[in-house]
Every structure is written in structure tokens, then in C-alpha cells.
Structure 1
Amino acid sequence: MSPSKVTEHPTYKIASIPADGIGPEVISAGITVLKKLASTLGTFNLEFENFDWSSDTYKKTGKYLPGNALQTLKKFDAILFGAVGAPDVPDHISLWGLRLAICQPLQQYANVRPTKIFRGTQSPLRNCTTGDLDWVIIRENSEGEYAGHGGRSHIGQAWETATEVSIFTRHGVERIMRFAFETASKRPKKHITVVTKSNAQRNGMVLWDLVAKEVAAEFPDVKVEKMLVDAMTTRMVLKPESIDTIVATNLHANILSDLAAALAGSIGIAPTSNLDPTRENPSMFEPIHGSALDIIGMGIANPVATFWTAVEMLKWLGEEKAANALLEAVENVCEKGIITKDLGGTATTAEVTNAVCDEIQRTLEGK
């Protein structure tokens, strides 16, 4: 009898960029949990390579990224990113020097931010419980208000002038709309809210609305609503159960997703995916909370956002079973009350990380 064929397990190469603030703490926790998950399941392998690109690098060398950074990153299957921001570097320099310097040239034009209330956590909204708030916000990630067009002149004069030009192209709007409608069509509610401000912004946002209407015609099974961004904030607070998928511009979705995370219980649990849906370039995955400079080194940073970010990364890599198992393990730990201060608990970063690793072993070993 011939020996059975041995199936080789896939190996995914992950570029790790912890960067600033609590980034190194939560990315370390994320890698610990991912390694535990991979070794326990035994169905895939993960190889991590760390890159010390941060505000400290900028202060030492005058730049965040080396000249070959993008070419280096293209060799990886995905990027796991921590946070960028330091008290002694202006925010517009750090953001454009690192995060946006990766997202934009690698065409990671779809920013995806799921939000829900975890079991064992509580929303600040009265009577809003697990299942009532379960959204995904699709953020246009390549142009709009963050296109980088504009400038300053007559600096220091009374007539100093600054312009910030929002860029909306039919190509850019169409590709994010199609991605958002495809996302909505795969969710149970098949419902999307197109967020706009076309009553006041009468050029770019009118194009946004027009393209949304055209793309909607391709998805007759998806219920479509249009809502002004200011009205959307009140709806998120007053009628969270009426929302499912949201698509909005770079700036609008950035603000709405932070509100969404707070309404779900804490910005410390919210993940982000910066996707290139063409898969020509690696996509980048990061927790939403930023560098959180006030709690650096205190050991109390919430690693859950990074764990959920890791879940989204695994889904993108095609490891759906592993992703679902990790998310279940994280929710189980939250339900047991092992949560950090921002969620009303007393657990440290390490305690939550260890608890998730133990839960992975308890539920998955031998499967």
C-alpha cells in the first residue's frame, strides 16, 4: 500500500511594524496569540519579520521609512501595524511619514472597520446589548479629504493662506462603492447606508452620490439608504439596530468609526483592515486605537483590538476557520470578565493575552 500523500501546510509571511506608543506592547501580544493559534491548530504556519520603523527612527535618521521600504513590504503576505504618533513629532509628519506612506502607494484603498458589542462587555448606550450593534464601516482610504492636495502661502503674514483640497475621482469612488456593496451583499441584513454631505459639498460629494446610485443598480438584493454624515451620528446613537454596512469618505468614516468603537464599549477593541482588493499588494492590519501615549509602558493597554485585527488578517489570508476560532476565544475571555481597565476590568495586557492563549488551547487542542 502506497503511503498517503502529505499535504503541506501554507506558510504566511507577516511584516510586523509595531512603531509608536503602545504599538509594540499590543503587537507583541498579537504575535503571541497568533503563534499559539497556529501551533495549536497545526494547519498553517506564520513567519514574522519585525521592522523598526517608528518616530524614534525618524528622530534619528530624518525619515520613517528607508528608500526600499515598499519593495520590501511587497514580499510579504500581510502587514501587522501597531500605531504611529509621538509627543515630540507633529502628527501630520508622523501620519504622512509612516502609515499613509504605506497605505497610499500600496493602493490599500478599502479601509474596513467592523464594530460589535462583545459578550462580556457593555455599551454606554442604554438597553443596547450584544447583537443590537453589529456594523461594518467601509472607509475610502486613498483620496477624498486625505488626498494630500493643497498648500500654504504667505506664511507668517496676516493674509497667510492654507488650502486643503478634497479629491474625488469617478475611479476612486466607484471602486470603494463596489467593494462596499459587495460587502453588504454578503451580510445577513443586506443593507447599506451611503453617508454623504452633498447638501453643502456640492461637487465631490454630488459625484459620490451619483456613483453610489449607479453601483447600487448592480446589487438589487441590497437595501440602500442615503444619509448626511451629521444625521448619521445621531442615528448611530439612537437607533443602532437599524444600521448594518456603512460606506463613507476618508474623513467621515474615520470620525464615524471612532464613534462606533466608543458606542460598542471601547476604542480599545476596534480593528482596522487596509485592503488592496486586487491583491496586487499586501494589505495592512492595525488596531484602531492609535498610540495612546498616556498609558505607554503601564501594561494596561487593551490587546483585544489587535486580536480582532489578527482575526481580520487571517480571514483575508483565507484561514476562515482559524479566524473564527480566535474571535470566539477572545469573546469567551471577555465573557469571563478578564478585561482591561477601558472595559471596566482590572486585567493587564499580559493577563488578557495569557487568558486568550489558554482559551485557544482549551477549545482547540486535539481538533
Structure 2
Amino acid sequence: MKDYRIASIPGDGIGKEVISAGVEVLHALAEREGTFRLSFEAFDWGSDYYKRHGIMMPEDGLETLKPFDAIYFGAVGAPDVPDHITLWGLRLAICQPFDQYANVRPTRILPGIEGPLRNVGSKDLDWVIVRENSEGEYAGQGGRSHRGLPEEVATEVTIFTRAGVTRIMRFAFELARSRPRKLLTVVTKSNAQRHGMVMWDEIAAEVAADYPDVTWDKMLVDAMTMRMTLKPWTLDTIVATNLQADILSDLAAALAGSLGIAPTANLNPERRFPSMFEPIHGSAFDITGKGIANPIGTFWSATMMLEHLGEKAAADRLMRAIERVTADQGLHTPDLGGAATTRQVTDAVIAAILADNE
């Protein structure tokens, strides 16, 4: 029997609630499968830790995480701590050193959920957005000079490297090749960003030559927002820069019904470091403690974690359970227009796992 060690980092706000639900569901799933075990170790890193220690995680945090098979992450951010401290102090402090350069965000309309687009269903909106997760607009390069003076200057330097762009393009083309439609859209803004994004386009064309079986096209990011809303059926796999994909994936989640259902995988495809799996939503302090956070995005992220670990059958069983629960509108949380609680959705998913005989 295989044993997997999972580092659990609930983080802030509703992250603590949904990760707790996710761990409970994963334990039930592992018991149902009977072919592997999951061992979770929880870490209390986040904004509360920062308020006690002045840092978001211990200085040896990365060394602590290295031996784990995967990281299950909740959310980060608090109203009384600046966002750049929380993000760079925890989530990005893990993603970048662990070279989790491929951020993968599947989006589709799940059974029982009605998106805001008229007459658009799961056959019309079934995407995977690949986000370059290590450089680009979030490279962290830049600075500020003459602080507080009228001539104060702040720079935020976007960095594209040939190595970084090539590897994310190859990842995206491989993913597109693995999907039935074999269709990839490369998002760009090379009409206005004439250096880095022109190189992005050039490398996309170079990589495309190695994938003659994949149909691909190029779309300016502003036009992409219109295409996503007006012609969603023309899209399948999408690759975009760190900032652009960050924005587009939130739009995608909203078009699929709610940020609460959207999953994320931060992958180190070469597996030199553990990969991290998290729901797309934030810490949502406005509903923290009310017991109404939607755990579906966290459960869906768990399916991606199981696939990454090689437990495809378990991932499929969990996804079937998720879809059976979302199909019941009486089990929709408030973000989906219902009145169900986190507890009710969690119990229903566990029940569906146990009842699944496929």
C-alpha cells in the first residue's frame, strides 16, 4: 500500500474551513479506495503566524516542506496585514523557490450549476488555463526611489526568459495534445508590449512546430475577454502570462458559476520539488466563521493532487462525487445561490464517495 505525506497549510480566513473539509474528504476517499494512505501534517503559517512572529512562515519552512509528496493550501490574506506581505511571505515564497512554474486551472460548468452566460452549458465551456507561474509580471523585480517626495518613482519589471517561456509553452502544447480537441489559444499583448511579449509570440510559434497535431491560435488579452464571454465554445486549452492568466482565470471561474468551485495546481512538472494544490478563491474574511464557504474548489483541487500523485482512479471517484453533489441544487452554498453549509456539502461528498461503485 502506498503512503503519501501531504503538508496541509490552511492559511487565512475560510482557508482553514475548506482545507479542514478537504482533509476529511480525502481521508474518507483513501479508506474507500483501500490502496493508499494519506498522512497529513498541518502547518499554522499565515497572517496569524505573522502577527506573532513577524514572518509568514519560519525561515526553514521550505526545508520543512521539501520531503512531502504534495502541499494542500487554503488561502492567504488578512484585512489587517498588507497584501504584498501575505502573498510574497507565504504563497509566492513557496511557489517560486519550488519552481512551480505551471499553474493549471481547469474551468467547466459542473452539473446543477448555471453560469451567467445565456444558453451556455458544460459542452460550451470546458477549458484549462495554463498560467506561467514563475516570472513575467510577478517576477518581483523593481524598486522604489525618493519615497514620499514629489519625484518618487516605483518600477515593476516584467521578466521573460527564453527558458521560462519555452517550458510553459511546451507544457501547454502537451496538455492541449492530451485533450480531445487538441486546441490551444496563446494569449498575448505583443501589440503594446513590444519586447517580452513579442518574444513570447515567437517562442510559441517555434514550439508549435513540434506539435503539428495541435491546432493553435493567438489572441490579444483584451480581445480574449470578449471571446471568453461571447464565444466560449471556441476555446479549450489556454496559455497566458502570470498576470494575464491570473485575471482571465478569475473571469473563467465566474463564467462557470462561482470562484468557490475553481481549483488550482501549482506544478513543478519535473517533480524536483513538491507541487501545491489550492482553491482559486481568497481568504474571504466577510464570510469567515459563518460555515458557508464553498468547499468544492478545494475538493476539485484535491482531485488534481491525486492525479499528480498517480492515483487516477481515486481522483475520478472524487470528481464523480463532486458532480453528484453539485447536481443537487439543495446542496449549493450561498455563492451559488443556495443555502447549504460547508458541513452539509462535505457530508454529501463523503456520502457520494462511499456510495460510488464504479
TM-score, normalisation: structure 1: 0.97
1:144-185 Cα offsets, whole Å, 9 max, x none, are 000000000001111110000000000000000000000000
Please state how far the C-alpha of 1:130 moved relative to its aligned partner.
2.1
Structure 1 counterpart of 2:290, from 295, 298, 302: 298
2:280 pairs with 1:285? no
Q: Give CA-to-partner distance per residue, 1:167-213, whole Å, 9 cap, x none.
A: 00000000000000000000000000000000000000001001100
Task: Give the Å deviation of 1:43.
Answer: 1.2
Partner of 2:191: 199
Is 1:232 the counterpart of 2:224? The answer is yes
1:362 equivalenced with 2:345 (yes/no): no
Query: In the alignment, what sits opposite 1:348?
Result: 341
SS in 1 for 2:286: helix
2:93 alignment partner in structure 1: 101
CA distance in 2, matches of 1:260, 1:153: 37
Aligned to 1:190: 182
> What is the one-letter code of the residue matched to 1:347?
A
1:37-66 deviation per Cα after TM superposition (whole angstroms, max 9, x unaligned): 010111111000000101011111010121
Partner of 1:66: 58
Q: Which residue of 2 aligns with 1:164?
A: 156
Pairing partner for 2:20 from 10, 28, 31:
28
Alignment of 1:306-317 (within 5 A): 306-317=298-309
1:6 alignment counterpart: none
Separation in 1 of the partners of 2:193 and 2:158?
10
- Are 2:16 and 1:45 equivalent residues in the alignment? no
Question: For this pair of structures, how many residues does the alignment match?
Answer: 357
Which residue matches 2:142?
150
Query: Following superposition, which runs of at least 4 residues in structure 1 exceed 2 angstroms of deviation?
Result: none
Unaligned runs of at least 5 residues, structure 1: 1-8
Name the amino acid aligned to 1:220.
Answer: P
Opposite residue 362 of structure 1, the aligned amino acid is A
Letter in structure 2 aligned against 1:346:
A
Residue 19 in 1 paired to residue 11 in 2? Answer: yes
Q: Percent identity?
A: 67
What CA distance in whole angstroms lies between the structure 2 residues aligned with 1:38 and 1:132? 33
> Which of the residues 201, 226, 241 maps onto 2:233?
241
Q: Which amino acid aligns with 1:290?
A: G
Q: What is the one-letter code of the residue matched to 2:341?
A: T
Query: Separation in 2 of the partners of 1:132 and 1:264?
Result: 11
* 1:147 aligned partner, one-letter code: A
CA distance in 2, matches of 1:235, 1:204: 24
Q: Which of 332, 338, 357 lines up with 1:339 in the alignment?
A: 332
Which of 260, 270, 275 is the matching residue for 2:262?
270
- Name which of 319, 322, 325 aligns with 2:314: 322
Q: SS at 1:48's partner residue?
A: strand
Task: Give, in whole Å, the separation in 1 of the partners of 2:290 and 2:113.
Answer: 22
Q: Normalization by structure 2: what TM-score?
A: 0.99
* Letter matched to residue 354 of structure 1: D
RMSD value, Cα: 0.7
Structure 1: distance between partners of 2:191 and 2:58: 43
Which residue does the alignment assign to 1:88? Answer: 80
Q: In the TM superposition, what whole-angstrom CA distance separates every residue of 1:123-153 from its partner, at most 9, and x where no partner exists?
A: 1000001221000000000000000000000
